[in-house]
Amino acid sequence: MIYTDLNGKRQNLDSGEIGVRTILPGPGTLTLTENYSRAWKVLKDGAYLEKSKNENGLPTFKALSGGEFSLFHDGTNRRAWLSLQLIFLVTVIVLALPAGRRKSEISEEELA
């Protein structure tokens, strides 16, 4: 994640695998060095920062003041789609299985 202050000075901010929680030195722009996705969110002072796409296709967030912020990836939609696909797959497998009756349930007239 790259922080750019109002004067154009850039500074790399440490981030983890899933997200980051750190202090922003002052007002400026945060540029995430990941693919643009609606799921990336930055929470600062209890409100989400405005997100836009820069000229390189990277997500950027505008911070009007410094302070503590949290960056995270909200994967709720992705998990919902994966769950729905799993439900459909299990349903198709169950419906595709043979629904034969046991020999004990078939009458002797039907067997003859």
b vs e for 62-72, b when ≥16 Cβ sit within 10 Å of the residue's Cβ? ebeeeeebebe
d(CA 24, CA 69): 7
* Domain extent for 28: 2-73
In the predicted structure, residue 85 carries a pLDDT above the cut 90: yes
82 belongs to a structural domain:
no
Indicate whether 88 belongs to any domain. Answer: no
More confident residue, 59 or 13: 59
Q: What is the pLDDT of residue 16?
A: 66
Whether 87 maps to a domain, the answer reads no
98 lies in some domain: no
Each residue's pLDDT tens digit, 98-110: 776 676 677 777 7
Q: What is the pLDDT of residue 112?
A: 64
Confidence band for 47, pLDDT divided at 50, 70 and 90: confident
Q: Is residue 25 part of a domain?
A: yes
